[in-house]
Amino acid sequence: MKKTFFALSALFLAFSANSQSDKTGAWYIYFGNIKPKDSKFSLDVEAQYRNHDLGGDMQQLLLRSGVKYQFLDNLNATAGYAFVQSEVEETPDNPVRENRIYEEAVLSQSAWRLFFRHRFRYEQRFVEGRDFNTRYRYCLFLDIPLNNPTLAKKTAYIALYNEIFINGKKTDDTQNVFDRDRIYLGAGYKITDNFAVQLGWMNQMLENDSKAQIMLSLHHKLGF
């Protein structure tokens, strides 16, 4: 655990100075997966409460769920739906709601103590008051266990990812093909084989702006 907190502190110190935003936001996230025994199907459930600041001024509420199928030990695909409500900073909130359909595939690989995941996601976005659009997303995840050779229970680990977002087309509401890029550095602890907690720093880069986020997430697998 000491290695985990030391590594996380070093990451914050190294990158916080590079943030172009004068206010750090915070995202609080729950990732869940519900899987029947001996089935290749499972259900992903996700809730994200995103803030313009560290808490109290909501930026976005995201609720997402999808049906997953495990093709191989290292390959799965998911189709699902997300509801998103976005609000501007401070008041009035001027909420904008979005209904989103998505399909994704995740390929896992490992080498030594490096555990990679490639996530390819395609989204169909129905945003209130805007033109319909689609979006392509690619994310490369990397988890590095510290005190064990694998990501088993009682394992501290470093977590990194980079995700790029590309709009499907230009519209009156979407002028650029490039949407955003997210880079994340964090550390976590796997309490059991099915439950982990993770704390990290993410910088979200838009076309002409960027903003730093503190991210606290719970990762939970449930079986029955």
pLDDT in tens, 40-60: 999 999 999 999 999 889 999
β-bridge mates for residue 78, sequence order:
68, 104
The Cα 35–Cα 38 span in angstroms is 9
pLDDT for 11: 52
Average pLDDT over residues 88-102: 94
pLDDT for 73: 96
Q: Phi/psi zone of residue 154: left (φ > 0), alpha (ψ -120 to 50 degrees), beta?
A: left
β-bridge mates for residue 184, sequence order:
161, 202
The Cα 30–Cα 72 span in angstroms is 25
Judge contact between 218 and 46, C-beta under 8 A: no
pLDDT for 10: 55
- Which phi and psi angles does 18 have, rounded to 5°? -85, -10
Beta-carbon contacts of 157 under 8 Å, excluding residues fewer than 6 positions away, are 4, 143, 144, 145, 146, 151, 187, 188, 189, 190
Number of domains in the chain: 1
What amino acid is encoded at 141 in this protein?
F
pLDDT range class, residue 195, cuts 50, 70, 90: very high
What amino acid is encoded at 220 in this protein?
H
pLDDT for 7: 53
Beta-carbon contacts of 56 under 8 Å, excluding residues fewer than 6 positions away, are none
pLDDT tens for residues 58-89?
Answer: 999 999 999 999 999 999 999 999 999 999 99
CATH code, 52 = 2.40.160
Tokens linked to 205: 């880069």
pTM: 0.90
The burial of 111, by beta-carbon neighbours within 10 Å (0-12 exposed, 13-18 middle, 19 or more buried), is given as: exposed
Above 60 in pLDDT, residue 16?
A: no
Structural domain harbouring 43: 2-223
